[in-house]
Amino acid sequence: MSSSREITVLSGLVVLLAAAFLASLILGSTSVPLRQVLDALTGVSNGTDPVAIVVRTIRLPRALTALFAGAALGVAALQMQTLFRNPLADPFVLGISAGASFGVALVVLGSGLGATAGFTGALGLRGDAAITAAAVAGALAVLGLVTLVAARVGNPATVLILGLMFGYAVSALVTVLVAFSQPERLQQWAQWGFGSFSGVTWQRLRLFAPLTIVGLLMAAVATKQLNALLLGEHYARSMGVAVRPVRMMTMTGASLLGAVVTAFCGPIAFLGIAVPHICRGLLGTSDHRVLVPAAVLIGGIAALAAQTLALLPGATGVLPLNAVMALLGAPVVVVVLLRARRGTAAV
Amino acid sequence: MPRIRLLMWGVAYASVAVLARPHAAATTANLTTGCVRGFDRNADYFPDKARFEDAGDVRVEYRKSYKVVTVREAYSGGPAERYLLVQCGTPPPRDEAADQTITIPISSLYAASPTHVSSLVDLGRLEALTGVSRLRDLTGGEIARRVATGRVREFAAASVIDSELVVSQRPSMLMTGGADSAPLSVIRSAGIPVVANTEWLEHTALARAEWVKFVALFLNEERRAQTLYGEMKSRYRALSARAKAASPQPSVMTGRSTNGMFVIAGGRSYVAALIADAGGRYVWADNAAAGTASVDLEAQVRRAANADIWINGGGWSNRTQMLQDEPRYAAFKAYRTGQVWVYERRLQASGHNEYWTRSVTHPDVVLADLVRIFHPPLMSNHEFMWYMAVPK
């Protein structure tokens, strides 16, 4: 089933992931000696010691969040690119992140509006929790609309364009909200747009982790169907794949992954498009039984590395996560793509 | 008949004195409304002069019938601008270069920032206000009464300045908060002066407050501005001297966390200066930012976990809810001891806070609140104006 190259690459990625995870626990915006990091993790040090608080309540949940978010976005992107047979597709092509942005914009910018206060107030939420709830609501609303329409439209390209149009329309509403908002609130809004894994606490991780795991499992069980879809709908049908249900399920699963990550971490754009290209380039295959685990690993590595670099270890400043990802990731994708083109065609 | 001759001289002298009177009156005080009649090139039309003591970003030089005002940065990082303020009724100088020429005293002002409006309140000249960027950003009784007259137009309801409205209403001048945009050049080219008030670029609360004199320059209200600022400054200094001498000096942290990032007051910001003046030790005093700075939550925990007092967060109704917002707030001693203070005593249900409008021109009041927080025995009789502790 798997060639030795695939095994080598996948095990190499596992090692890299472990290293990236450890690095993100050891490196941070302040320096903590390795010994103290280990003491904090193993519970040796006192719980009120600032260093222990930093490692246990800031670094560890942040690293786990990066891991889950990276895996989720990588896999969701792979699913969408296969589904639409379009190398530019990402988990947000159906307007998911625009929907989430709109929800967040209503909470952050439209505080004077009665409707928003009512919504989050009824849920008893404020601050970051309200933002997350609003993002989920916005993403689900757009997803619901798109799937309703998609169920009636056969052509994937049409669905893609519909998603795009939904996205534009919703973004336009966000722009209007921005124009009417108070300057102090714009800063909070801009900060959400930077993307961040740091806001996910243990409490939120208890919701975030299971949701992404469900989405990842949905992708894992559908790898064979995805392989068949890759060869075209007619072929898939002749293989006995129920094309429409598979398509709807994949679309919903991938969008949910995108929506959950956006809700908890903000709009993290780049990972969602880059990871599948790196996977295919490194592994030289289009077999989803290999690509899905590779996307989990590469997504996790990329997210952890970007997170660690964004903190500028040793300095007090923090770079926007989205900026770090795109700046460092774009050249990687270019190199991998150009190398792969020499051998086999990507996608 | 020497006596009759003397009498005749006397009458002549008296009539000259009476005739010359309007002119003489114009030189004993600045003319705060209207124009001078009968220009006298030797007369000083501005006997009341403003002197900037603390503000570093603005300068004024007085000539006999006009003022030359220089703003160091017309917007953050922007070029300097030079304004000529020419007394109405006197000829504009020919040999002075300027970015804008304004005939003063102005009778109608379009003000971009609520702070400019606050200066008008302090100068007792709110009747000159005819336009604001957004009505709903304004709070306060006097301001509400002025708005209720219906003579105040809204010129940037959706962030973008409605240049057509401004040009058609022809105010004497538009005062920006130090920003540049395309609509402003349209307004300028239509002959309406646009001047920058960059009070917020100053590094201390006193320097920011001194910009009330800048607003006064355009209204010829220097006498009033000098008095107001001078009195306020001596109150501020006297209180600060007592606070700085008090001990112990508590350590102070600022800001709030969003997504694991703490937005704090920079170490060179006016907030940092206020903390020092109120007899506190700012935990980020060595930070280089002049405005706000974003620091990782981790850095804030390491730096401020044992800070005594936490100020200038906000948006929390109580401390339980703070933890829902960000459970790691519990890592801060100030949180656990209930020393979390926010300037939301006068926060309205609509989310508007009068603090933003009125505190800039009254730093002595902000200081008094802070001293009461940092050194309660010094200020036991002081009623809090802006600050309140976040309830349990």
Joined together, the tokens standing for residue B81 give 């601008």
Mean pLDDT of B210-230: 96
- CA dist B121 and B144 (Å) reads 11
What pLDDT, in 10s, does the model give residues B319-370? 998 888 888 999 999 999 999 999 999 888 777 788 888 899 999 999 999 9
Judged against a pLDDT cut of 60, whether residue A124 lies above it is answered with: no
Phi and psi at A92, nearest 5°, equal -105, 5
Sign of the dihedral defined by the CA atoms of residues B341, B346, B347, B353, in that order? negative
Partners of B316 on chain A (C-beta within 8 Å) are 126-127
Q: Which range has the worst mean pLDDT, A33-42, A98-107, A235-244, B72-81?
A: A235-244
Residue limits of CATH 3.40.50.1980 in chain B: 58-229, 246-389
What's the confidence (pLDDT) of residue B148? 87
DSSP code of residue B353: B
- Identity of the amino acid at A100: A
Q: Assign domain B246-389 to its CATH superfamily.
A: Nitrogenase molybdenum iron protein domain (3.40.50.1980)
Least CB–CB distance from A316: residue in B299, B301, B328:
B299
> Measured between CA atoms, how close is A113 to chain B, in angstroms?
9
Partners of A28 on chain B (C-beta within 8 Å) are 296, 298
Mean pLDDT of A276-281: 89
Mean pLDDT of A134-150: 83
What pLDDT, in 10s, does the model give residues B52-89? 999 999 999 999 999 999 999 988 888 999 999 999 99
Question: How many other C-beta atoms are found inside a 10 Å radius of the C-beta of residue B17?
Answer: 10
Q: Strand B66-71 and strand B81-87: pairing?
A: antiparallel
Joined together, the tokens standing for residue A327 give 């700046």
Least CB–CB distance from A58: residue in B160, B263, B301:
B301
Tell me the pTM: 0.81
Q: Strand B194-196 and strand B153-154: pairing?
A: unpaired
On whether any CB of chain A is under 8 Å from the CB of B301, the answer is: yes
Question: Cβ(B50)–Cβ(B215) under 8 Å?
Answer: no
On whether any CB of chain A is under 8 Å from the CB of B162, the answer is: no
On whether any CB of chain B is under 8 Å from the CB of A220, the answer is: no
Inter-chain touch B259–A266, beta carbons under 8 Å: yes
User: pLDDT grade, residue A52 (50/70/90)?
Assistant: confident
Does the model's ipTM exceed the 0.85 cut?
no
What's the confidence (pLDDT) of residue A1? 47
On whether any CB of chain A is under 8 Å from the CB of B163, the answer is: no
What pLDDT, in 10s, does the model give residues B243-290? 999 999 999 999 998 888 888 999 999 999 999 999 999 999 999 888
Mean pLDDT of all residues in chain B?
Answer: 89
What's the confidence (pLDDT) of residue B7? 58
User: Considering only alpha carbons, which residue of chain B is nearest residue A27?
Assistant: B298
Mean pLDDT of A165-177: 87
Domain boundaries, chain A: 4-343
On whether any CB of chain B is under 8 Å from the CB of A316, the answer is: yes
Inter-chain touch A57–B331, beta carbons under 8 Å: yes
Where is B311: in which H helix or E strand? strand B309-311
What pLDDT, in 10s, does the model give residues B111-149? 998 889 999 999 999 999 999 988 877 777 888 888 888
What's the confidence (pLDDT) of residue A44? 75
User: Considering only alpha carbons, which residue of chain B is nearest residue A113?
Assistant: B350
Mean pLDDT of A207-232: 87
Q: Strand B251-254 and strand B281-282: pairing?
A: parallel
What pLDDT, in 10s, does the model give residues A289-326? 999 999 999 999 999 999 999 887 766 677 888 888 88
Inter-chain touch A196–B299, beta carbons under 8 Å: no
Please tell me the CATH code under which domain B58-229 is placed: 3.40.50.1980
- Beta bridge pairs of residue B154: B132
- CA dist B368 and B382 (Å) reads 7
Please tell me the CATH code under which domain A4-343 is placed: 1.10.3470.10
> Measured between CA atoms, how close is A234 to chain B, in angstroms?
47
Mean pLDDT of all residues in chain A?
Answer: 83
